[in-house]
């Protein structure tokens, strides 16, 4: 690495990254593993580990937003604290944090804007509000693969003109993975419309909400009112919002967490900014799965940018990260 490089960004995944058995590698090697989930389970009045590990056939509940959001936040916070406590890096070693949707809450916890329990309360509130609105509005989301953003937006505009119904781009994940969102009936019609225009690779997601659209306005307002009563701290590490596309301090966090429910997640623009403008070249995904790592890899390869990408899904991944960081920090010290 040359002297101009070596910036670390930690990124935190959102809903959809959950899976049965996530975090199983850490049960025996992270002393606090169960204590984090015990706090979360007490709040939810449900045994989250039984759900995550599919005990007594409870695993189906992990797809329910009530449980998936809290479970992802809890595991992300646990892994985050393990890495910091075991001196993988200190806060001054990390240039910035960013999250994908729900991941904002994990990122803000990591930046000490609130403590773990306060974050649990926030995520629990968010999940319940989103579950409640789905009882009145059956939503749907789907990933459109292999087609660029401009083409999708153009077809959705034609769909609106022809049917008088609107379906929204919810996530701009990478150049050929765009998530659309809306009312289920409208989505089903829009999917057929897209296929009729030659856009055929469309995969419905396992969610029943219309996230990141104006349809979530009531949830967003309720979250904003809830957050107003909290005493948030200023981020101790730069927090970059993937919806508002900028660094945000404590006075703006309420509006960020409100607007991310009704606005597009601009993951491509976020990663482009961090790579090109900030010259970040080390990205570490903190939490279950490898979704964000894959997105960043495709964005960097499309732009012929050499970067280092790590995830923390399993202990073997953490061991690889440790080897890299030990080498990296020794080199930094020598300089």
Active-site residue identified among 17, 76, 101, 293: 101
- What's the pTM value of the predicted model, to 2 decimals? 0.94
Q: Average pLDDT, stretch 152-163?
A: 97
CATH of 139-204, one of 3.40.50.720, 1.10.10.60, 3.40.50.300, 3.30.70.250: 3.30.70.250
Active site residue 212: yes
**Domain segments of the chain as ranges:** 7-135+214-334, 139-204
168-187 pLDDT, tens digit per residue, is 999 999 999 999 999 999 99
Average pLDDT of the residues of the chain: 93
So what's the pLDDT on residue 332? 58
CATH of 7-135+214-334, one of 3.40.366.10, 1.10.150.120, 2.60.120.10, 3.40.50.150: 3.40.366.10
Q: Give the lowest-confidence range in 130-139, 160-169, 264-273, 280-289.
A: 130-139
Backbone angles phi, psi at 170, to 5 degrees: -100, -40
Are 108 and 260 in contact by the 8 Å Cβ rule? The answer is no
CA-angle at 172, arms to 278 and 202, nearest 5° = 150
Measured from the Cβ of residue 305, the count of other Cβ atoms closer than 10 Å reads 16
Percent of the chain with pLDDT over 70: 96
Active-site residue identified among 106, 211, 212, 263: 212
Sequence-ordered alpha helix ranges (H) in 100-232: 103-110, 116-136, 149-163, 184-196, 217-228
73-122 pLDDT, tens digit per residue, is 999 999 999 999 987 888 999 999 999 999 999 999 999 999 999 999 99
């Amino acid at each position: 690495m040359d002297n101009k490089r070596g910036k670390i960004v930690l990124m935190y995944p959102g809903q959809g990254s959950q899976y049965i058995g996530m975090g199983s590698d850490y049960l025996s090697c992270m002393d606090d593993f169960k204590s984090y989930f015990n706090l979360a389970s007490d709040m939810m009045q449900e045994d989250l580990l039984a759900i995550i590990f599919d005990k007594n056939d409870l695993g189906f509940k992990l797809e329910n937003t009530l449980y998936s959001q809290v479970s992802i936040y809890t595991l992300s916070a646990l892994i985050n604290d393990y890495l910091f406590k075991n001196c993988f890096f200190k806060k001054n070693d990390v240039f910035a944090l960013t999250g994908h949707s729900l991941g904002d809450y994990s990122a803000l916890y990591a930046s000490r804007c609130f403590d773990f329990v306060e974050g649990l309360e926030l995520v629990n509130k968010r999940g319940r509000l989103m579950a409640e609105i789905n009882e009145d509005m059956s939503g749907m989301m789907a990933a459109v693969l292999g087609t660029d953003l401009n083409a999708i937006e153009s077809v959705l505009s034609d769909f609106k003109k022809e049917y008088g119904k609107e379906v929204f781009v919810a996530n701009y994940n990478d150049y050929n993975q765009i998530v659309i969102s809306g009312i289920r009936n409208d989505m089903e019609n829009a999917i057929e419309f897209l296929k009729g225009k030659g856009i055929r690779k469309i995969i419905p997601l396992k969610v029943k909400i219309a996230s990141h659209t104006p349809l979530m306005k009531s949830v967003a307002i309720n979250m904003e009112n809830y957050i107003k009563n909290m005493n948030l701290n200023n981020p101790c590490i730069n927090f970059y919002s993937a919806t508002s596309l900028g660094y945000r301090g404590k006075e703006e966090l309420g509006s960020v967490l409100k607007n991310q429910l009704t606005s597009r997640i601009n993951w491509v623009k976020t990663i482009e900014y961090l790579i090109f403008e900030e010259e970040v070249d080390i990205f570490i995904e903190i939490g279950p799965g490898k979704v964000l790592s894959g997105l960043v890899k495709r964005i960097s390869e499309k732009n012929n940018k050499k970067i280092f990408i790590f995830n923390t899904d399993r202990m073997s991944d953490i061991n690889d990260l440790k080897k890299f960081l030990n080498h990296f920090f020794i080199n930094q010290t020598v300089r």
